[in-house]
Amino acid sequence: MTSNPVLEIKHIKKYFKISKGWFAEKKYVKAVDDVSFSIEKGRTASIVGESGCGKSTLARLVNGLIEADSGEIVFKGNDLTHKNEAVWRTFRQPMQMIFQDPYASLSPQMKIKDLVAEPLLIHYPKMSKAEIEKIVKETLDICGIGSQHLSKYPHQFSGGQRQRIGIARALVLRPELVILDEPVSALDVSVQAQILNLLKDLQEKFDLTYLFISHDLSVIDHISDDVAVMYLGNIVEISSRDTLFESPKHPYTQALLSSVPDKDPKLKRERIILKGEIPNAANPPSGCKFHTRCPFAMNVCKEVAPVMQTLDNGTQVACHLYQENQS
C-alpha cells in the first residue's frame, strides 16, 4: 500500500471538564482518548460506534471546530493542531463538513442560492457574480437540486433535499477531504440510499476523500473502504471493510456485527448480547474499557489497557485476546 495520507491523526485527545466551581474536584469526560488513524487519498474511512463513544467529537476535532487537548492533526502534511481560527480558515476550503441534521444545519433565513454561494464568497471574494452563479447552479444540479429551486428557503424542502443542499454547500468549494458526521441518520431509509449513492458518485467524480461517521453498520458496509470501531473514546479495531465484516476480531466488533439483522430470517445465527449499559464516560472502567461488558474478559483486562497491534491479515486491534496469541 503506497502511503499518501490526506489526513493523519496522531494520539489525539479531548477531555471535557464537567466539574463546576473553583474548589470542586476536577472531573473530565474523556470524549476522545488517544485516537490515531490516517486516511489515504480517494478512500472512505468510516468510524462506527454507539452513541456517546466520541465519534462526533472526533469529527469536530478533525474539522477544528473544537480544539484538541493534545495529539496531532496533520492535513496534507500541515500540522493544524493548536492553530488559531485564522490558520484553520485557510484550510476550510479543502476540508469540508456535512452535518447530521439537515433541518438545523442550514441558516433558515437565506435562500438556497445564497446558502450555496456563501462558501465561494468567503473563499474567493474576487469571483464575479456570474461565475459564482454558474458554479452554484452546476453544483446544485450535480447534487440533484434543479435550478427552479434557487430562490426557495430551506424550510420549503424535505429532509433529503436539504441534505443534498448541505452536500452542495460543501462541494461548491471542490474540497479534497469531506467529513460526514452521520449524514444520513436523520433521513428515511429510502432517502438514505439515494444520498449514499449520490455521495459515492460524487467521490468518483471529484476524487474525494471521505471521513464518514456513523452508528449504522449497514450504512458503513455500503460506503466504506476502511472501518474504525470506537468504544468510549478509544478506537478498538481498524480494518478494511471486507476483513472487518468477514472476520471481526475485537469482541466489541463481533457483538456489534451480530446485532445487524440478517437478510435471511431463517438463518440461525449466534447473537452476542452485551450485558449492561455503556459505562459512564466520566468514570470509565480501568484497564480495557470494554472489560465490564466483554464476554471473554480476563483478569489482565481489568488492570492493563491493551495496545493497538497489527495482526497477520492487516487488522489493527486493541485487545488482550490477541496479545497473548502473538507473544
Partner 1 sequence: MSETQITTDQTQFVETKQDSNFKRLLRSFKKNKLALYSLYVIILLLLIVIFGPWITPYDPQEANYDSILEAPSWQHLAGTDEFGKDVLSRLIVGARLSLGVGVSAVLLGAVAGTILGLISGFFGKWVDRVIMRICDILFAFPDLVLAIAMVAILGPGMKNVIIAIAFFSTPSFARIVRGETLEIKERLFIEAERSIGAKKSRIILRHVFPQTISTIIVYITMNIGGAIISAASLSFLGLGASPSSPEWGAMLSASRDYIGHAFHLIFFPGLAVFITVLVLNLFGDGLRDVLDPKTRD
- The verdict on 122 binding partner 1 (CB under 8 A) reads yes
Among 75, 157, 210, 212, the residue binding partner 1 under the rule CB under 8 A is: 157
Determine the Cα–Cα distance for residues 238 and 219; give it in Å rounded to an integer: 17
Burial (0-12, 13-18, 19+ Cβ within 10 Å), 64: buried
Determine the Cα–Cα distance for residues 271 and 55; give it in Å rounded to an integer: 25
Among 46, 57, 96, 239, the residue binding partner 1 under the rule CB under 8 A is: 96
C-alpha separations of 116 from 37, 110, 180 in Å: 31, 10, 17
Q: Are 70 and 95 in contact (CB under 8 A)?
A: no
- The verdict on 183 binding partner 1 (CB under 8 A) reads no
Nearest to 221 by CA among 245, 190, 203: 245
- The verdict on 107 binding partner 1 (CB under 8 A) reads yes
Query: Per-residue string for binding with partner 1, 37-76, x by CB under 8 A?
Result: -----------------------x--x-x-----------
Q: How far is the CB of 197 from partner 1 (least distance, A)?
A: 11
Strand order in the sheet with 234-240: 95-98, 177-181, 209-214, 44-48, 226-231, 234-240, 316-317, 309-310
Q: How far is the CB of 155 from partner 1 (least distance, A)?
A: 6
Among 44, 56, 105, 239, the residue binding partner 1 under the rule CB under 8 A is: 105
* Residue 78 cell numbers, joined: 500541515
- The verdict on 151 binding partner 1 (CB under 8 A) reads no
Q: Which stretch binds partner 1 (CB under 8 A): 4-12, 29-37, 164-172, 274-282?
A: 164-172
Among 61, 97, 220, 229, the residue binding partner 1 under the rule CB under 8 A is: 97
* Residue 38 cell numbers, joined: 490516517
Site for partner 1 in 75-94 (CB under 8 A): 88-89, 92-93
Q: Virtual CA dihedral for 105, 158, 132, 183, nearest 10 degrees?
A: 50
Query: Which residues, other chains included, contact 89 with Cβ-Cβ below 8 Å and sequence gap of 6+?
Result: none
Q: How far is the CB of 26 from partner 1 (least distance, A)?
A: 20
Among 149, 297, 298, 322, the residue binding partner 1 under the rule CB under 8 A is: 149
**How many other C-beta atoms are found inside a 10 Å radius of the C-beta of residue 1?**
5
> Nearer to partner 1 by C-beta: 43 or 152?
152
Site for partner 1 in 207-226 (CB under 8 A): none
Q: How far is the CB of 154 from partner 1 (least distance, A)?
A: 9
Q: Are 305 and 231 in contact (CB under 8 A)?
A: no
Binding site for partner 1 (CB under 8 A): 60, 63, 65, 88-89, 92-93, 96-97, 99, 101, 104-110, 118-119, 122-123, 144, 146, 149, 155-158, 161, 166, 169-170, 173, 194
